[in-house]
């Protein structure tokens, strides 16, 4: 061990080594700076090229989408115009169809004007000569005062419904009068008498309306029931117009069910 009082002597650094170390650090710093600049430049080129490529792709997609949207808008406008034309054509066809349907119902009603419908007569009682049988039946039921001789019928037949089984309701009978006046006389007398009987079998006689007219007249059923309850005298005129006779003898006419129902409501609250 060196003595306590002995002074330690440090070796002085070599100037050449110091200069060499300083040169080495300078070179490394410069080299790092060059690499940094090169790396930044390379990154910039690579990054911006990639970003520009993506932006170019997005721009092309946007342009493509814009073209497709423009095409869709043009097609939508064309379709809208075609739809307007179709709707207009449908409205015209609907109006034309309604007119034709009304004319058809009117023609069918005129064709049925000479018909009467007998409901409740047992199935098969007419035998093989229905026209002759029902003419004689009407004379027997209404008597010689109404029909001095059997009324002349052009035809008589059961409705086109399937033949009922045992115990089921019989099909209505449709009779066509050769003279319209005799049919009108039959309807007036049957309304006066209400339920009729033949061989103790009850039956009724009605006008032979088309299904459309029957449906229109049936819609007044509730309003007419209320009118009868209120002591008024409603009656349905052909095809489906409601005539009401008030207690003072005045009359009013309604062409729709809503008008009749409004009259009933107002009359109740009056």
| Per-residue pLDDT at 92 | 95
Per-residue pLDDT, averaged over 213-239, amounts to 92
DSSP 126-163: TTT-HHHHHHHHHHHHH-TTT-SSPPPEEEEEE-SSPP
Query: CA 138 → CA 148, 151, 175, 194, distances in Å?
Result: 11, 8, 11, 15
Query: CA 270 → CA 10, 220, 228, 243, distances in Å?
Result: 133, 21, 17, 20
Checking if the pLDDT of 6 tops 50, the result is: no
| Per-residue pLDDT at 144 | 94
**Spatial contact of 247 and 230, defined as CB atoms under 8 Å apart:** no
Tens digits of residue pLDDT in 23-49: 567 777 777 777 777 777 776 667 667
Q: Which residue bears the tokens 């037949």?
A: 157
Per-residue pLDDT, averaged over 2-13, amounts to 51
- What is the CATH number that goes with domain 214-269? 3.30.250.20
| Per-residue pLDDT at 22 | 52
pTM above 0.85, yes or no: no
How far is Cα 152 from Cα 176, in angstroms, rounded to an integer?
Answer: 9
* CA–centroid distance for 217 within its chain: 23
Domain residue limits, the chain: 28-110, 115-208, 214-269
Tens digits of residue pLDDT in 43-91: 666 766 777 777 878 888 888 888 888 888 888 888 888 999 999 999 9
In a 3-state reduction of DSSP, which class is residue 113? coil
| Per-residue pLDDT at 1 | 47
Tens digits of residue pLDDT in 174-223: 999 999 999 999 999 999 998 899 999 999 999 999 999 999 999 999 99
**Spatial contact of 141 and 134, defined as CB atoms under 8 Å apart:** no
* Cβ neighbours, 10 Å, residue 257: 17
How far is Cα 59 from Cα 9, in angstroms, rounded to an integer?
Answer: 76
Checking if the pLDDT of 2 tops 70, the result is: no
CATH classification for the domain delimited by 115-208, as one of 3.40.50.150, 3.30.70.1820, 3.40.50.620, 3.20.20.70: 3.30.70.1820
Tens digits of residue pLDDT in 160-172: 999 999 889 999 9
* Cβ neighbours, 10 Å, residue 20: 11
């Amino acid at each position: 061990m060196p003595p306590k009082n002995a002074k330690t002597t440090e070796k002085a650094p070599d100037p050449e080594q110091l200069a060499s170390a300083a040169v080495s650090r300078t070179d490394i710093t410069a080299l790092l700076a060059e690499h940094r600049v090169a790396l930044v430049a390379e990154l910039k080129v690579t990054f911006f090229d990639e970003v520009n490529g993506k932006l170019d792709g997005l721009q092309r997609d946007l342009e493509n989408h814009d073209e497709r949207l423009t095409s869709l808008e043009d097609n939508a406008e064309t379709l809208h115009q075609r739809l307007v034309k179709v709707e207009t054509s449908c409205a015209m066809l609907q109006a034309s169809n309604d007119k034709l349907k009304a004319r058809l119902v009117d023609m069918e009603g005129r064709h049925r004007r000479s018909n009467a419908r007998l409901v409740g007569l047992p199935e098969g009682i007419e035998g093989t000569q229905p026209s002759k049988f029902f003419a004689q039946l009407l004379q027997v039921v209404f008597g010689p005062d109404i029909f001095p001789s059997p009324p002349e019928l052009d035809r008589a037949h059961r409705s086109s419904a399937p033949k009922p089984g045992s115990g089921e309701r019989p099909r209505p009978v449709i009779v066509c009068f050769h003279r319209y006046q005799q049919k009108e006389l039959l309807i007036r007398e049957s309304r006066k008498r209400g339920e009729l009987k033949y061989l103790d079998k009850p039956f009724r006689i009605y006008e032979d309306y088309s299904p459309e007219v029957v449906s229109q007249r049936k819609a007044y059923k509730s309003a007419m029931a209320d009118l009868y309850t209120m002591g008024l005298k409603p009656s349905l005129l052909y095809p489906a117009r409601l005539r009401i006779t008030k207690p003072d003898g005045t009359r009013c006419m309604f062409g729709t069910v809503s008008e009749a129902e409004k009259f009933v409501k107002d009359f109740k609250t009056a």
